[in-house]
Structure 1
Amino acid sequence: MKMIEIDGATLNIEKVKKVARDKEKVFFSEKTMEKVQKNWNALQEMLDRGDILYGVNTGIGAFGNIILSKDQGSELSKRMIRAHAAGWGNPLPEDEARACLLLRANVLARGYSGVRPKTLQMFAELLNKNIVPVIYEKGSVGTSGDLAPLAQMALVFMGEGEAFIDSKRMDAEKALKIKGLEKIELEAREGLALFNGAQTMTAIGTLAVYDAEKLLKNAQIAAALIIDSLNAVTLAFDSRLHALRPFEGQNIVAKNIRNLIDKSTVLMQKKKDTQSAYSLRCVPQVLGASRDAIGYSRKQVEIEMNSVADNPIFLTEEKTYLAGGNFHGQPVAYAMDLLGIAVSEIGNMAERRVNRLLNPALNAGLPAFLIAEGEGLNSGLMITQYTAAALVSENKILASPASVDSIPCSADQEDHVSMGTIAARKAREIIRNTEAIVGIEFMCAAQAYEFQKPARLGAGTSIAYSVIRQSIQKVKEDRIFYKDLDIMALLMRNGKIIEEVEKTIKVI
């Protein structure tokens, strides 16, 4: 199996996904380890000449001006990890916890953080042996980095705290023993190096961006299937129109829609309207804007994951240190709030299209709630729109920005914080809700097409319909629909619809 190198500079979202979810193995090159060793040696020289170094021979936070002896450095590392492991809530999903390990390792691999190669190697051992730290998801204010969650991660290095092996929760000491690993005796500086950064919000955010990009592709296919099934007015997707407003996302989405509905004979039928409603007509403008916003979020998290997001940092050649604020999560916090807003709007518009399909006053002559027989006895897909509406409403609350808030901490030494981890968790939840909304849209669109036969769907929409029908049958009478929604969510998350459509049409 090909291994992924952790070198501090070349991680991207796809590599993080492979390590976090697909459990691909990782390694550090000899060159990286040599660089880290030289940096550690430089730190020891600074200590030997009596330099006062924050978090190495001083307290931290509001205690940063208290000088400690060199002999207290190792104990300081251990105690600060224990004290900072004060989070709350449910454990992070295992993929996000693995991403935390990977991203923090990538920071240390840059060779500015003052750790030993032995300590750095422990990250690879934990990932490759799939020992997953139990990390509570709440408790970070996003500055100085994600202190509480990353400290809980760091406990495992010392054989303390808890970990998962094969999803079984146990004491970390036992987990290390099962996998044949020995705990690390941390030295001065190494404690702070393990947890002083924004890697929890970036881990959650990285996987959220990956999921949002997949969701956006599904959303475009679902929108195209409704446009096709409703025999909407296609003039709104003309390339000449969109070229006059050259937003990249808008023009790409318009092209995708054109390709997906190409060759549809449903859309060759006589139209009932001169223009379609905004939720149909303005798909390129809205989903295109979401595409651009998601792209910005990708850029920000990929910069962050390859940055020296630490404090202090140690310059090997100059044998000096710099203290600043590279742990501050604001760049990621803004990106996560924007991601949540962009995805929320995908769901908002999708629900309006669902309503348009189900409402007999709006659906161009299709049966009410897409049930052809036994009206009254059968409710059809009526309640799926309720579910979509509830999720949309919840998303609107979740989309309120976290990054505009700040509560001072550590006796006002840390008097501005990012709340970026809250923003990332909210974005993750919005994505899950919107997956369900778009799944409902797919289900309703496929049902709507049943009443357009024998006319044919487009080049891409016909494939999406076929994939859905392989797992979810036409609705002839009422049945338990939550089971269909579960299946639909799985088809979206596993990429089956995208995979089959893209054998014919690339959805950019």
Structure 2
Amino acid sequence: MVKIDGENLSVDDVWAVAVEGADVELADAARKRMQGSRKVLLRLVEGDEPVYGVTTGIGEFAGVRVDKKFAEEMQMRIVRSHAVSNGEPLSPEIVRAAMLLRANSLAKGFSGVRVELVERLLEFLNEGIVPVVYNKGSIGASGDLTQLAQMSLPLIGEGEVFSSGERLPAIFVLRRKRMEPLSLSYKEGLALINGCQVMTGIGAVVVMRARNLLDSFLRISALTIEVLGGKQEPFDDRIHKVRPFQGQLFVAKRITELLSGSSLTDTKRNGKVQDAYSIRCLPQVVGAFFDVLEYVGKIITVEINSAVDNPLIFPEEEKILSGGNFHGEYVALALEYLTLVLADLSTFAERHINRLLNPALSGLPAFLTADGGLNSGLMLLQYSIADLVAENKLLSHPAVVDSIPVSADQEDHMSMGGTSARKLVQVLENTETVVAAQLIAAAQAVEFVEKNSLSPAGISLYEKLREMVKPLDKDRVLYRELENVTEALRDGRFRSV
């Protein structure tokens, strides 16, 4: 059970709810804060001063007063009018993450919405009701407006949802679950859609998957070093203590641990006194990846525990203030940074594969096959992943450097973080496949060295892979095996070896 209070949600909690299906409940302290800001909002609505998005229009219509008798109806219209995302449905995990983050932000107590609204979001999560939300249409400034509006439609009995594996009209599922559609009250339509919870939810899920990927990559790289007869000297902690980046120190220590007990290292077959950069500089390169991932995780953690809609209500002072916490620049830049890391990781892994397959570099049979010529071995595995690495380079162009003004230039700078998030997911998936390919190649290389000389960690990883992929004694179709190993890598099955 995950309890939300607007203050203490972690990316691990997001993973637990979004991916693993943990239940969620609202903390009592959050209820009290929400009730306090709601009372202030109701008093302000009864006054004569205009309240943005409550008794005025929104965006360019901020100067248009709305009669109080239409103020609640306007909230329903805000959700309907903004629900124009496009593309393909986001995965249920991402939508669940966005719902959780939206609920947690509202639970912080600065939005003025009713407790019932957050409780309904949590009820959807706990009942396995997932709104259909498309993956395109956000420009990441006033929030993921179109996507969060589509996410909110089922709360009022409109739109579509996934439930029990079916895509159904929301009203049908609500009736089946004996849940009444909500009628939105003051500010609630605006509060539901004003924030970057979709792109931030993607960021939180990708951070968790990237942690798993980097951990698995270290194990696979250690096995690669072993079969190539690489040197242990570059991982000596004395080298790294004089350039003490935390990630670099961690990677050097981890590789040393993984290589412990190996009789294959320091047996370089080409006679060179130093290994290539992709082996020797692994702590300096992959350590930087770990440090960037930690930085991105911190940005995401701050964002998921922030009040991000507009205006915000400060109950103790009975003030309502307009600002721009909905702007996604922090998150967009962090997502672009993580995209660069994952793209570079794919390049690094491809270089490892190249060293394994090239006999001039490995001292092993060409393309890791016996009877080369009759057999092509893993030759085309490199071709396949080279396409993914090339695509990653294209996707690394930052969307955040562009901005398309909207709403009659009232909203004249956008983070374009929705595009950043979408690119990030594709780069992550590509890189997971590249690293899976490296594991297949490293395990095949084991067939040409003395298995008993592997480290315990290397033997364990090799045996785990061999449960899924048998040795390549002659050419066979490999695409299913690549898919299966990628899925196992994604599920963390090689992280726990």
What TM-score do you get using the length of structure 1 for normalisation?
0.96
Comparing 39-48 and 27-36, the one that deviates more: 27-36
Distance 1:74 1:160 in 2: 17
Q: Does the 8 A contact of 1:358 with 1:369 survive in 2? A: yes
> Which residue of the partner structure matches residue 354 of structure 2?
355
Comparing 99-108 and 464-473, the one that deviates more: 464-473
Offset of residue 455 of structure 1: 4.7
Comparing 236-245 and 342-351, the one that deviates more: 236-245
> Which residue of the partner structure matches residue 490 of structure 2?
493
1:415 and 2:418 matched: no
Offset of residue 249 of structure 1: 0.7
Offset of residue 51 of structure 1: 2.2
Offset of residue 239 of structure 1: 1.1
Distance 2:365 2:231 in 1: 20
Distance 2:178 2:288 in 1: 50
Offset of residue 470 of structure 1: 1.8
Q: How does 1:12-161 map onto structure 2 within 5 Å?
A: 12-161=10-159
Q: How does 1:317-332 map onto structure 2 within 5 Å?
A: 317-332=316-331
Offset of residue 429 of structure 1: 1.2
Q: Does the 8 A contact of 1:233 with 1:273 survive in 2? A: no
Offset of residue 282 of structure 1: 1.1
Q: Does the 8 A contact of 1:150 with 1:200 survive in 2? A: yes
Name which of 225, 247, 270 aligns with 2:245.
Answer: 247
Q: Does the 8 A contact of 1:221 with 1:260 survive in 2? A: yes
Provide the aligned length of Structure 1 versus Structure 2: 496
Offset of residue 459 of structure 1: 3.0
Distance 1:462 1:338 in 2: 35
Offset of residue 29 of structure 1: 2.6
Offset of residue 387 of structure 1: 1.2
Distance 1:110 1:269 in 2: 59
Q: Judging changes above 3 Å, is the alpha-carbon distance between structure 1 residues 454 and 13 closer, same or farther for their aligned structure 2 residues?
A: closer
Offset of residue 241 of structure 1: 1.1
Q: Deviations over 1:199-244 (max 9, x none)?
A: 0110111001110110001111111111111001222111111111
> Which residue of the partner structure matches residue 179 of structure 1?
177
AA aligned to 1:31 is A
Distance 2:152 2:495 in 1: 38
Corresponding residue SS for 1:145: coil
Distance 2:121 2:6 in 1: 13
Name which of 398, 403, 428 aligns with 2:400.
Answer: 403
Q: How does 1:87-486 map onto structure 2 within 5 Å?
A: 87-269=85-267, 271=269, 272-363=271-362, 365-373=363-371, 375-486=372-483
Listed as ranges, the gaps of 5+ residues in structure 1 are 501-508
Q: Judging changes above 3 Å, is the alpha-carbon distance between structure 1 residues 338 and 454 closer, same or farther for their aligned structure 2 residues?
A: closer
Aligned Cα RMSD in Å? 1.1
Q: Deviations over 1:332-381 (max 9, x none)?
A: 00100000101111110110110111112221x200000012x2221100
Distance 2:472 2:74 in 1: 65
Q: Does the 8 A contact of 2:232 with 2:266 survive in 1? A: no
AA aligned to 1:321 is I
Distance 1:312 1:49 in 2: 16
Q: Does the 8 A contact of 2:82 with 2:149 survive in 1? A: yes
- Identity of matched residues, %: 44
Distance 2:121 2:336 in 1: 29
Offset of residue 268 of structure 1: 4.9
AA aligned to 1:452 is V
Offset of residue 490 of structure 1: 2.3
Corresponding residue SS for 2:367: helix
Q: Deviations over 1:302-331 (max 9, x none)?
A: 000001111110111222201000000000
Q: Does the 8 A contact of 2:23 with 2:126 survive in 1? A: yes
Distance 1:33 1:455 in 2: 61
Distance 1:53 1:353 in 2: 59
Distance 1:191 1:491 in 2: 41
Q: Judging changes above 3 Å, is the alpha-carbon distance between structure 1 residues 270 and 203 closer, same or farther for their aligned structure 2 residues?
A: closer
Corresponding residue SS for 2:142: coil
- Structure 1 stretches of 4+ with a deviation exceeding 4 A read none
Q: Judging changes above 3 Å, is the alpha-carbon distance between structure 1 residues 448 and 174 closer, same or farther for their aligned structure 2 residues?
A: same
Distance 1:249 1:6 in 2: 31
Q: Does the 8 A contact of 1:164 with 1:175 survive in 2? A: no
Distance 1:493 1:270 in 2: 32
Offset of residue 454 of structure 1: 4.7
Distance 1:270 1:163 in 2: 58
Corresponding residue SS for 2:496: helix
Distance 2:413 2:218 in 1: 39
Distance 1:92 1:471 in 2: 30
Comparing 92-101 and 41-50, the one that deviates more: 41-50
Offset of residue 483 of structure 1: 1.5
Distance 1:151 1:389 in 2: 39
